[in-house]
């Protein structure tokens, strides 16, 4: 688990084949036998070259992950977006408290009075409320719980 | 580029059995980068590759797996401006308009969420991604035009610091019957 705040990585240099791979594989691997060979053929690469480049893109952090993207709620878990209005002088203390919860999957500082925004992912939906109560007790701040009521679209696709 | 998830029908998830759960655990850190990834996952679980592949296909069909794909790091791809845009949209219109704006360029996630009055009047959240803030602002302008009079107010909240990013960890949520890598 990473508790320390992270720096923003720099943009990577990608050649044309890397770009084709990044663009194509954001859309999804076909669930067929020899799936990498199928995608490699589409991209005019050999299977070995695709696998080698994919490994390199992961090592270089251009891709943060390659694999199945699971739908947390459909696996029976709880998921929510929550926000805090943290007094500036207290910000680092609250970062440490919030990040120490393993249920906090992402946490971003944003420029607003509500200046800390984090995603909670829990084993059960009920556990969300317990974690929120624990964060409120530990920080002394009110948590704004903003669970999704309707999902219109979830598909991160960043063409390069 | 996009598969419409609108209207967002909750698909019947169907029960996951112990082997499905073992597959979830074995693949959550990633799919093996080998010519036969299904076989590689299967070997760690005592299953054959076809069984792994057909179970994963079933989970994808049920929406338990959104897709098997590359997750890019925004910043490494040059998307330096990532704005959470939030909109105060008429409740009577938010479902229809949410579906519409979800298809606009630059949008990755689009959700309806609860207001917290008086502090937080926004009920539609749209994540926008651009190489520059100017690009995100152009995308937001297109959203504003599309939302029209149904939108009273909006904000763009840029992330100014990543405080934590571990991703979702499913281990522990699923039981470990059936073994794991």
CATH number for the domain including A120?
A: 3.30.70.920
Check if the interface score ipTM surpasses 0.95: no
CATH number for the domain including B136?
A: 3.30.70.3460
A102: chain B residues, CB-CB within 8 Å: 169
Number of domains in chain B: 2
B30: chain A residues, CB-CB within 8 Å: 58, 65-67
pLDDT digits (tens, 9 = 90+) for B62-98: 999 999 999 998 889 999 898 999 999 999 999 999 9
pLDDT at B180 over 90: no
Q: Does residue B32 sit in the same domain as residue B80? A: no
Please give, rounded to a whole number of angstroms, the shortest distance from the CA of B143 to a CA of chain A. 14
Q: Does residue B92 sit in the same domain as residue B148? A: yes
Residue A1 in domain: no
Residue A139 in domain: yes
Q: Across the interface, which of A2, A8, A121 has its CB nearest the CB of B164? A: A2
B64: chain A residues, CB-CB within 8 Å: 70-71, 74-75
The answer to whether B75 contacts A105, with C-beta atoms less than 8 Å apart, is no
Q: Which residues, numbered 72 to 111 in chain A, qualify as contacts with chain B under a Cβ-Cβ cut-off of 8 Å? A: 72, 74-77, 79, 81, 83, 85, 95, 98-99, 102, 104-111
pLDDT digits (tens, 9 = 90+) for A70-92: 888 888 889 999 999 999 999 99
Residue A45 in domain: yes
Q: Does residue B55 sit in the same domain as residue B105? A: no
Interface membership of A123 toward B (CB under 8 Å)? yes
Interface membership of A59 toward B (CB under 8 Å)? no
Q: Does residue A90 sit in the same domain as residue A141? A: yes
| A45: containing domain | 16-59
Closest CA in chain B for residue A148: B113
Residue B41 in domain: yes
Q: Does residue B99 sit in the same domain as residue B24? A: no
B160 φ, ψ (degrees, to nearest 5): -110, -10
Q: For A52, which DSSP code?
A: H
pLDDT at A1 over 50: no
Residue B47 in domain: yes
Residue A150 in domain: no
Q: For A12, which DSSP code?
A: P
The answer to whether A146 contacts B114, with C-beta atoms less than 8 Å apart, is yes
pLDDT digits (tens, 9 = 90+) for A113-148: 999 999 999 989 999 999 999 999 999 999 999 999
Q: Does residue A86 sit in the same domain as residue A139? A: yes
pLDDT digits (tens, 9 = 90+) for B23-63: 999 998 899 999 999 999 999 999 999 999 999 999 999 99
pTM here is: 0.82
Residue B99 in domain: yes
| Predicted local distance difference test score (pLDDT) of residue A3 | 44
Q: Does residue A88 sit in the same domain as residue A125? A: yes
Residue B104 in domain: yes
Residue B149 in domain: yes
Q: Does residue A83 sit in the same domain as residue A128? A: yes
pLDDT digits (tens, 9 = 90+) for B130-152: 999 999 999 999 999 999 999 99
Q: Does residue B103 sit in the same domain as residue B129? A: yes
Q: Does residue A77 sit in the same domain as residue A100? A: yes
Residue A100 in domain: yes
Q: Does residue A79 sit in the same domain as residue A46? A: no
| B130: containing domain | 75-158
Q: Does residue A53 sit in the same domain as residue A87? A: no
Interface membership of B118 toward A (CB under 8 Å)? no
Interface membership of B175 toward A (CB under 8 Å)? no
Number of domains in chain A: 2
Q: What is the spatial distance between Cα B34 and Cα A44, in angstroms, rounded to a whole number?
A: 18
Interface membership of A43 toward B (CB under 8 Å)? no
The answer to whether B69 contacts A26, with C-beta atoms less than 8 Å apart, is yes
Q: Are strands B65-72 and A104-110 parallel, antiparallel or unpaired?
A: unpaired
The answer to whether A110 contacts B174, with C-beta atoms less than 8 Å apart, is no
**Cα-Cα end-to-end distance for chain B:** 34
Closest CA in chain A for residue B129: A158
């Amino acid at each position: 688990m990473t508790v320390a705040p992270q720096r923003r990585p720099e943009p990577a240099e990608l050649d044309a084949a890397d770009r084709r791979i990044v663009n194509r594989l954001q859309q999804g691997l076909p669930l067929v036998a020899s799936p990498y060979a199928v995608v490699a053929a589409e991209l005019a690469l050999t299977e070995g070259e695709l696998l080698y480049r994919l490994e390199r893109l992961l090592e270089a952090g251009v891709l943060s992950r390659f694999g199945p993207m699971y739908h947390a709620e459909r696996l029976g878990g709880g998921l929510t977006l929550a926000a805090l209005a943290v007094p500036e002088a207290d910000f680092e203390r609250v970062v440490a408290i919030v990040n120490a919860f393993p249920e906090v999957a992402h946490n971003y500082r944003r420029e607003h009075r509500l200046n800390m925004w984090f995603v909670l992912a829990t084993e059960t939906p009920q556990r969300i409320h317990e974690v929120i109560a624990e964060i409120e007790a530990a920080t002394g701040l009110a948590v704004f719980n903003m669970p999704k009521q309707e999902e219109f679209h979830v598909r991160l696709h960043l063409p390069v | 580029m996009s598969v419409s998830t609108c209207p967002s029908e909750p698909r019947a998830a169907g029960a996951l059995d112990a082997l499905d759960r073992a597959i979830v655990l074995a693949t959550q850190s990633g799919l093996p980068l080998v010519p036969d990834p299904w076989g590689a996952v299967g070997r760690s679980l005592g299953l054959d590759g076809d069984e792994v592949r057909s179970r994963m296909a079933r989970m994808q069909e049920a929406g338990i797996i959104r897709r098997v794909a590359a997750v890019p790091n925004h910043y490494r791809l040059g998307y330096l401006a990532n704005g959470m845009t939030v909109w105060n949209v008429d409740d009577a219109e938010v479902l229809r308009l949410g579906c519409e704006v979800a298809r606009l360029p630059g949008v990755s996630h689009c959700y309806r969420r609860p207001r917290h009055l008086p502090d937080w009047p926004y009920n539609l959240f749209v994540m926008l991604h651009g190489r520059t803030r100017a690009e995100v602002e152009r995308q937001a302008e297109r959203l504003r035009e599309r939302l029209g009079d149904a939108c009273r107010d909006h904000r763009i909240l840029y992330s100014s610091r990543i405080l934590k990013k571990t991703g979702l960890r499913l281990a522990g949520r699923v039981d470990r019957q059936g073994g794991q890598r």
